[in-house]
Structure 1
Amino acid sequence: MATSSNAETGSSTADAGGAPASASLQRAPLRSRSDIMTSDLLRQLPDKEFISLKAGTDDFAALWRPANVGEPRGVIILLPGEGESADWPRGIGPLRRGLPDHGWHTLSLSLPDWPGPALPAVANTSEGAAEPPVEDPAAETEQFAENPVPSEAGYLPEETAAIPSELVSDDTKTEETVAPAAPHADQITERIEAALAFACSKQPAAIVFLGQGTGGYWAARYLQQRAPGDVRQLVVVRPRQPEGQDEPLEQLIPALKLATGDFYYKHGRGDLAAARERLNASRRMQHPAYRQVGLPKPTGDRHADQKQLVRRVRGWLAG
């Protein structure tokens, strides 16, 4: 009896503070930010809009919308910026939903997370939620240029992906060792290649890359390195150079000798200066088909502002 009691006591002690029990209670590794946003989109959007693509050994989700015309003009592959989902409510989402009405298939990607410190979490959203007070709309826009993960309170659930706050909680850290992944740039290249292969399988009349924020940089970088003959046009919306990339954006985009639409906002000092550098570089390189399109200051009516962006992009594609 004593032996049995001692054994039970020892077992309880091990469970309470021993290494085996501690190991069994270790938390699982965090899911990536992009995986969490994709899961949110899976709950919000119809299943028919999702396709699964393979990049190297990994599967990832993309959003596909066929053109709403009998004779489609081609496929537009959309690359969101850092911290943005494949249906981001500013730019990417409205473009992927609006351009099919003007003859374009759209394929919107999710890109892998930047392997640096976690970005701030975005509060969960619901219909009717009040937007946080903004003292100066211009200052808010300038902040968005530096931080592509704004609070989207007030956006409809089907228009934005919620990012749980526990994504950046200190309590969710794990001590487990994770096998090193492929370099971030290589992961993005693999995803673009998978998207391009899918687009080519549709035998489109034309393929266009459209990148927003840092997505514009990655689109231009891929075109520079791989020079795929199937891609005839590049659209960049408020392009931004990712952290850790040495090649200047103002040199990368104008060096591409294919039709390029460069969309920027006229009212932001940083946007204007960067756009001027890209324009001057295109002139020095004698780019044959580089055109900048200045967008006016947002009105505060997000639906009207996004419709205007879709209209401007559609107009450039038609021209």
Structure 2
Amino acid sequence: MRWLLLWGWLGVAWAGGNALEESRLLEGLHLDGGARALTLTTPTGPFQAILDEAATRERKGVAILLPEAGARADAGVLRALRRGLPPHGWSTLSLQLPVLEAEAEPQEYWDLLPQAAARVAAAVVRMKAAGYTSIALVGHGFGATAALRYLGQGGDDSVRAAVLLSPWWPAAHNDELATWGRAAAVAVLDVYGERDDRAVLRSAPRRRLLFKDLDGFRQWRISGSGHGYRGREAWLVERIYGWLQQVGPEQEVGDDG
């Protein structure tokens, strides 16, 4: 049944980005354990997400996971979070963000941020309808910047925290990014690797200045780690969970309809 759902996704034409590339990514998606496929909708069309519910009696909230540019919903370090947060009482909702063709230049993704932020907004609405009142956004690279765009344009008071993993910070758009950062009104955890991408490293001091006055703000540099946090995933899951425990949990009950 799960695979029938996956093949059904391939017939959907997504507005914005490259629909064929998004379909190709979804072909490789595997729903394991109790994961459920969800279809959410924005004004530009439907998109897909994966819900992994908390594996504890009391759920503490939901983390909306946002992947890197051109990546599948559960790619890289986000796969570790999908598996690692539910045993600690946090559900996860992994979103497929809009993508471009594989040959696209990184700067071309800037124009997809409005669509990506709209998907975040749709996910927040869906999780609130499911009874969650404590929501965290966890994004990697492009996904982190999409979370920042969403927060910078108002967000929602049920979103209590944002984890920005190596946020994409193109110098050409520094003013817009700074405006979104100043408008964010949630606890922020800013994480980057010691051997991260040059733009991430260069913007780290600027990000610290933007967020330093927010309650709960932390900035971590992960020693020896690159942009993908390979080999540090389990450690990072535990640290993110510990930070979320300080800034965002709330005992939850309800149906995830």
TM-score normalised to structure 1 length:
0.62
- 1:213 aligned residue (141, 157, 160): 141
Q: Given residue 297 of structure 1, which amino acid in structure 2 is its aligned partner? A: G
Q: Tell me: CA distance 1:210–1:201, structure 2 relative to 1, closer, same or farther (3 Å).
A: same
- 2:238 aligned residue (282, 304, 311): 311
- 3-state SS in 2 of match to 1:217: helix
Please give the alpha-carbon distance, in whole angstroms, between the structure 2 residues aligned to 1:289 and 1:48.
31
Q: Tell me: CA distance 1:262–1:69, structure 2 relative to 1, closer, same or farther (3 Å).
A: same
Q: Given residue 54 of structure 1, which amino acid in structure 2 is its aligned partner? A: T
Please give the alpha-carbon distance, in whole angstroms, between the structure 2 residues aligned to 1:45 and 1:293.
31
Q: Tell me: CA distance 1:307–1:31, structure 2 relative to 1, closer, same or farther (3 Å).
A: same
Any idea what the Cα deviations from partners look like across 1:256-304, whole Å, max 9, x if unmatched? 2321111111344834332112113334xx33432112212149xx874
Is residue 108 from structure 1 mapped to residue 107 from structure 2 by the alignment? Answer: no
- 1:78 aligned residue (65, 70, 90): 65
Shift of 1:318: 1.7
**Which residue does the alignment assign to 2:220?**
293
Give 1 or 2 for the bigger CA radius of gyration: 1
Q: Given residue 97 of structure 1, which amino acid in structure 2 is its aligned partner? A: R
Q: Tell me: CA distance 1:95–1:318, structure 2 relative to 1, closer, same or farther (3 Å).
A: same
Task: Please give the residue correspondences for 1:139-288 in structure 2 after superposition, counting only pairs within 5 Å.
Answer: 184-241=112-169, 245=173, 247-250=175-178, 252-268=180-196, 270=198, 271-283=200-212, 286-288=213-215
TM-score normalised to structure 2 length:
0.76
Q: Is the 8 A contact 1:73 1:103 kept in 2?
A: yes
Q: Is the 8 A contact 1:73 1:205 kept in 2?
A: no
- 3-state SS in 1 of match to 2:85: helix
Q: Is the 8 A contact 2:121 2:155 kept in 1?
A: no
Say how many residue pairs are matched: 223
Q: Is the 8 A contact 1:32 1:113 kept in 2?
A: no
Q: Percent identity?
A: 31
**Which residue does the alignment assign to 2:252?**
none
- 2:82 aligned residue (84, 93, 96): 96
Q: Is the 8 A contact 2:152 2:182 kept in 1?
A: no
- 1:56 aligned residue (35, 39, 43): 43
**Which residue does the alignment assign to 1:173?**
none
Shift of 1:185: 3.6
Shift of 1:249: 3.5
Any idea what the Cα deviations from partners look like across 1:109-133, whole Å, max 9, x if unmatched? 001124xxx3249xxxxxxxxxxxx
**Which residue does the alignment assign to 2:27?**
39
Runs of 4+ in 1 over 4 A off after TM superposition: 242-246
Q: Is the 8 A contact 1:255 1:282 kept in 2?
A: no
Please give the alpha-carbon distance, in whole angstroms, between the structure 1 residues aligned to 2:206 and 2:172.
20
| Cα root mean square deviation, aligned | 3.0
Shift of 1:32: 2.5
**Which residue does the alignment assign to 2:13?**
none
Shift of 1:242: 6.0
Please give the alpha-carbon distance, in whole angstroms, between the structure 1 residues aligned to 2:237 and 2:53.
16
Shift of 1:38: 1.1
Q: Is the 8 A contact 2:40 2:46 kept in 1?
A: yes
Any idea what the Cα deviations from partners look like across 1:38-65, whole Å, max 9, x if unmatched? 1221xx3249521111222522110110
Q: Greater share of strand residues, 1 or 2?
A: 2
